[in-house]
Amino acid sequence: MTPPSDSPLPARPRLIATDLDGTLLHDDKSVSERTIAALAAAEKAGIEVFFVTGRPARWMDVVSDHVHGHGLAICANGAAVVDLRAGGELLKVRPLPRETALDVVRNLRDAAPGTAFAIELTTGIHYEPAYPPFHQDPGATVATAEKLLHETDPNAAAPMVKLLAHHPDLTPDGFLALARTAAGDRVSITRSSPTALLEISALGVSKASTLALCCAERGISSDEVVAFGDMPNDLEMLTWAGTSYAMGNAHPDVLATASGRTAANNEDGVAVVIEQILAGL
> Structure pTM?
0.91
pLDDT in tens, 93-108: 999 999 999 999 999 9
* Rounded Cα gap, residues 275 and 258, in angstroms: 19
Comparing 221 with 151, the larger pLDDT belongs to: 221
Check pLDDT > 80 for residue 119.
yes
**Mean pLDDT across 238-254:** 97
Which domains does the chain possess?
A: 15-94+206-279 (3.40.50.1000), 98-202 (3.30.1240.10)
Check pLDDT > 80 for residue 149.
yes
pLDDT at 133: 80
DSSP reduced 3-state for 217: helix
Check pLDDT > 80 for residue 75.
yes
CA 137 to chain centre: 19
What's the chain's length in residues? 281
DSSP states along 65-132: TT-TT--EEEEGGGTEEEEGGGTSEEEEE-PPPHHHHHHHHHHHHHHSTT-EEEEEETTEEEE-TTSP
Contacts (Cβ under 8 Å, ≥6 apart) of 128? 116, 117, 118, 142, 143, 144, 145, 148
Check pLDDT > 50 for residue 221.
yes
Q: In percent, how much of the chain has pLDDT > 70?
A: 89
* Rounded Cα gap, residues 58 and 71, in angstroms: 14
